[in-house]
Structure 1
Amino acid sequence: MRAIPIPITVTALAAALLLTACDSGGSGTGSGDKNTGGTACRITEVGVQVGPANAAPAAGDTGNVPVTVTNRGARCTLEGFPGATLSAGDVTATVPQDKSGKPEKLTLAKDDTASFTLTYVRGKENDAKSLAVTSLKLSLPGASGSQDFPWSYGPVQGRKNAGDPDASVTALQQAGD
C-alpha cells in the first residue's frame, strides 16, 4: 500500500510550507517585517500620551517626560528616533537624539504601543541660557506631520544658549506585553 504515504507526505509538506509563510507578528524581527509593506506610523493615526512626567523640581535638576504612542490604525512600523521640538513663543529648539541606545525596527499592530523618553535639565527662570518652553512638538520617524502638546515642566536649560537645549530623546522602544 504505497499509495497512502505519498498523499500524507504531500499534505505534510504543504502544511509545513504554509506554516513557514505565516507571521505571528511577535517581536518585529526576522521575516515578519517584510510583510508590513514598510508603512511608517503616522502621528495622525496614533494616540500619543505625554507624561505623567518625573518633572525636574528646581534649576539644574534633571526631569524625564515619558511619551507613549498607541497605534489606532492598520499595522505600521517605527524605526529610529522621534522628532521633538521645544517652543517658547517664536523661539524653537530641536531636542537632540540620545545616541546611547540603538533604534530597533518596531512593527505595531492596532492597539500596540511604543514609547520613548525626553530627558531635560531644568533652567533658571528669566535666564538668557534658558528656554521658557510652552509647547512640545512631536513627530514620528519616516512620516510627515507633527502634533503639539503643552509643556508645563518649567524652562529648559541651554548648553551654549537657549536654542541648544540640554535635553535628549531616546529611540522608540516596544512598550507593553
Structure 2
Amino acid sequence: MKIPTIGFGKITVGDTEFGAWLQKFPSKGEGKGTGKPTKFKFDFAKARKEGIKRIEDEFGGVNENVANSKAILNPRDIRFMQSTVSNKTGDYTVLNNAKTFSQDPSKIFELPPIRVWQDGKGNIWTLDHRRLAAARLAGIKEIPVQWVSKDEVYKDAWKFTTKVDGKSVVLKIGDGSTQVIK
C-alpha cells in the first residue's frame, strides 16, 4: 500500500482508513509507535481557521450579495467543500436518497433547501454535501437552495477540505469501498 504524502492541501495519511487506524499509535518521531492506542481529537478551531484562510486566499472570500435568499440551481453548478462524505447519516444514506430522487425528482423539494454560498470568483459551494451528492447521483437537474451569510460559511469552514476545487467528492460507502461523485 502506497502511503500518501503528509501535508495540508494534499492527501494525508489521516484521510485514509489506514491513516485513521495508524493515528491510534502515537510516535515521538523515531519511527516506532508506542503500541498504546490513543484517541484522536480533531482540532475544529485549527481546521476552521485554515478553511477560512483558504476561502479568503484561494477563492476571494464570500460574496454576500446573494445571502439570505432562495433559488433553484442545477446541482452540477454547485461545488463540494468537503473531500469526503459518509454514505450513512442516522437513518438515511446518500445511495438510498439518490435512488428515491431518481425515481421521483420532486422528492428533493420536500426537503429543506441545501445551504449554498458564492465565493469571490463566482463559484457556488454547498454546506450540505450528502444531499448534493444524492442529487448528482440521481441526475436531478434542479435543486432548491438557500443562500447563506458569510458568518454561516465561516462557522462551517472546518469542512473546507477539498483538494479538487470542489468538483467532486469521495463517498465513503461504509464497507471500506468508496465512490467518486462528480
Q: Please identify which structure carries the higher strand content.
A: 1
Larger Rg: 1
What range describes the TM-score normalised by the shorter chain of this pair?
A: under 0.3
Q: Please identify which structure carries the higher helix content.
A: 2
Q: What TM-score does the superposition give when structure 1 sets the normalisation length?
A: 0.26
